[in-house]
Amino acid sequence: MARPPAARSKCLDAYISLLCEEGERAATLEATASRAGVSKGGLLYHFASKEALAVGVIESTEEHVQLDLTRMSEVPEGASVYYVRTSAEVDTELDRHLVAVQRLAQAGVISASEMLKDVHSRWFQLILDEVGDQSIAHLVILIGEGLYAHLATPGSWYQSTFDGRLQELLDLVPQLKKLK
Amino acid sequence: MARPPAARSKCLDAYISLLCEEGERAATLEATASRAGVSKGGLLYHFASKEALAVGVIESTEEHVQLDLTRMSEVPEGASVYYVRTSAEVDTELDRHLVAVQRLAQAGVISASEMLKDVHSRWFQLILDEVGDQSIAHLVILIGEGLYAHLATPGSWYQSTFDGRLQELLDLVPQLKKLK
DNA sequence: GTCTATAAAAAGATAGAC
DNA sequence: GTCTATCTTTTTATAGAC
């Protein structure tokens, strides 16, 4: 079978969930194995070390990112609105992966930092292609980043104040192009 | 002496630096003591546990936040521009403290999450008082958040693309009020 | 492929000397 | 106040049975 075994996927998914929900420190081999429903030995068969687990997350993330970039360049609403809208989407597979990669980056995993840097520059390029102005493109990126930062922080302030106001925000995005 | 001893401050500062630069996992008692130039025993005299160290960070942060909020409500440039401008300031004492608190929040320290939530709602209120519209106030908050998120990520994408363009961005902020 | 048992190192914390 | 020594628990990783 060319397809990777189900247990491997379960381990990766458990690790990502732990990174997102409880942070890098809590994402131990034991906790990951337990959440995946396997033993520590079982986990270490599929991922020989902690580092291998991180590599697995990053590779899996790259696939989701590729899909997202393709879609972003094709949607009729335009790259900017697509970017801000999807930045506010929580619990998508892409979002879970990116939060996990961010946690790894903050824990000092170099390849995770490099991936985030690369993804951001690719998003920026697509937005710049649409809006045609560097400053406006930066503004759009920062709004999405801010949104993402809030949503990626459990129990964040947004939940009480921002909830339900996303549409109003999205309506403002196309108008940003009129600035200057 | 009513003033806390210098060694205590050094320990707190070392812990904050480690949280910011290497993440929560790397900020061990041993690493903190070493960076502060004391032994593990010396560190544990001032902070009886890891939790006490986190409490120390949060208390110290609260003081810096108070000063910032007072200044934000008084500056002639207005709360919005002040907020976005200072969000881009890296290596200030306030910024270092807030990054440290964010790391703790992501590691599951509840009081750190609560502090961040509280700070954000106070910033939001001052901005809302100035701009008078909820959606615009959210936009301003998100731009600052995005800026902060980039700067708080070492080796971030901003350094190559965004560097030197801050003034252009700040010039756009007052114009956001004209939207809608 | 998956498990149990176990080793080796690191981390948090205590006790007591100075 | 600060240090060294020590203990306990946790974490990563290995070995080998099934």
pLDDT in tens, A91-107: 899 999 999 999 999 99
Strand C-contacting residues in B 5-44, CB cut-off 7 angstroms: 28-31, 40-41, 44
B27 nearest nucleotide via C1' and CA: C11
- pLDDT for residue B3: 67
DSSP B49: S
Query: Which parts of chain A sit beneath pLDDT 50?
Result: none
Q: CA A113, A118, A119, A121: dihedral to nearest 10 degrees?
A: 130
Q: Does B56 touch chain A (CB under 8 A)?
A: no
Q: CA A20, A26, A28, A33: dihedral to nearest 10 degrees?
A: -60
DSSP structure string for A83-148: HHHHHT--SSHHHHHHHHHHHHHHTT-HHHHHHHHHHHHHHHHHHHHHH--HHHHHHHHHHHHHHH
Closest-CA residue to B79 (of B152, B174, B147, B178): B174
pLDDT in tens, B62-96: 999 999 999 999 999 999 999 999 999 888 999 99
Mean pLDDT of chain A: 92
CB contact under 8 A, A179 and B180: no
- pLDDT for residue B122: 96
Burial environment of residue A17 by CB neighbours within 10 A (0 to 12, 13 to 18, 19 or more):
middle
pLDDT higher than threshold 70 for residue B157 = no
- pLDDT for residue B2: 57
> Three-state DSSP class for B9?
helix
- pLDDT for residue B161: 66
Q: Does B23 touch chain A (CB under 8 A)?
A: yes
- Collect contacts of B88-92 with beta carbons under 8 A, ≥24 apart: B88/B147, B88/B148, B88/B151, B88/B166, B88/B169, B90/B151
B46 nearest nucleotide via C1' and CA: D1
- Chain B from 134 to 163: CB within 8 A of any A CB: 134-136, 138-139, 141-150, 153-157, 160-162
Q: Does B102 touch chain A (CB under 8 A)?
A: yes
User: Nearest residue on chain A to B169, judged by CA atoms?
Assistant: A135
pLDDT in tens, B130-156: 999 998 999 999 999 988 887 777 556
pLDDT higher than threshold 90 for residue B165 = no
Q: In Å, how far from its chain's centre is CA A139?
A: 19
CB atoms inside a 10 Å sphere around CB A173: 22
- pLDDT for residue A96: 95
Structure tokens at A70: 């393709």
How many whole angstroms separate alpha carbon B9 and alpha carbon B12? 5
